[in-house]
Amino acid sequence: MEKSLIIRDLHVNVEDKEILKGLNLELEKGKVHAIMGPNGSGKSTLSYALAGHPSYEVTGGEVIFEGQNILDLGADERAQLGLFLAFQYPMSIPGVSMANFLRTAVNSVRKARGEGEMRVPEFRKLLNEKMASLKMDRSFAGRYLNEGFSGGEKKRAEILQMAMLQPKVAIMDETDSGLDIDALRIVSDGVNALKNPEMSVLVITHYQRILNYLKPDYVHVLVDGRIITSGGPELALELESKGYDWVRQEFAVPA
């Protein structure tokens, strides 16, 4: 199978404390991978480090994406290559409308790829289509980015951004947190509608719940900064019923 993203022996420090301790993972093109792990295992660190947050210090390893090690690239350049992170806690940017933001983002990515700027009518049409598919009211486009959005609205806005940017690898950082069942379904339907043979999805979650909707092809278990086991969708169910202590013992995590 063709790989879209390869993580080799990734070490990441946060405030001088090592959080990821040699993480290995390969994502297959067009597949949904889930990473499950208990609190403090390094789930969010992984997503921020992949997206290029400056506070997450990479001390070793490499991440190969689109034929290059992206660890020296800025967050913007990684996004331009086709990496996307759906945030667990999206930031609000007062005064910047969703539509203006998305247009700047879409055109930044296009420019980096040597493509021409998307014209306003074409952009509007695309935006309206994507919003309709996520059951978002048109007024959303005029609202300030995440400003005063409910939890569910924020997550839908993240998926809308993903839909507009059409990434090759989409990382979803605990997208299920704080969502009620209806919102979870809408968000999951949105992601499922975006699935295509060119895009890999990495779902990072504490709970199995979202995996009922975003059916993963592979499940990886992250404990104490490393992937300690991988398997098919059945692993998620097993984990849900037996708990993380079971997996710790079963796979003999060294202290």
Residue numbers at the binding site for another protein (CB under 8 A)? 51-55, 74-76, 78-80, 84-85, 87, 90-91, 93-96, 100-101, 104-105, 108-109, 112, 144-145, 161, 165
DSSP character for 236?
Answer: H
- 8 Å CB contact between 239 and 220: no
**Minimum separation from the CB atom of position 174 to another protein (A):** 16
- 3-state secondary structure at position 134: coil
User: 123 or 144: whose CB is closer to another protein?
Assistant: 144
User: 102 or 227: whose CB is closer to another protein?
Assistant: 102
What values do phi and psi take at 182, rounded to 5? -70, -45
**Minimum separation from the CB atom of position 104 to another protein (A):** 6
Which residues make beta-bridge pairs with 230? 220
Query: Which residues have C-beta within 8 Å of that of residue 221, sequence separation ≥ 6?
Result: 35, 36, 37, 227, 228, 229, 230, 235, 239, 247, 251
**Minimum separation from the CB atom of position 147 to another protein (A):** 9
User: 51 or 201: whose CB is closer to another protein?
Assistant: 51
User: 2 or 16: whose CB is closer to another protein?
Assistant: 16
Output the CA angle 139-141-143, nearest 5 degrees: 75
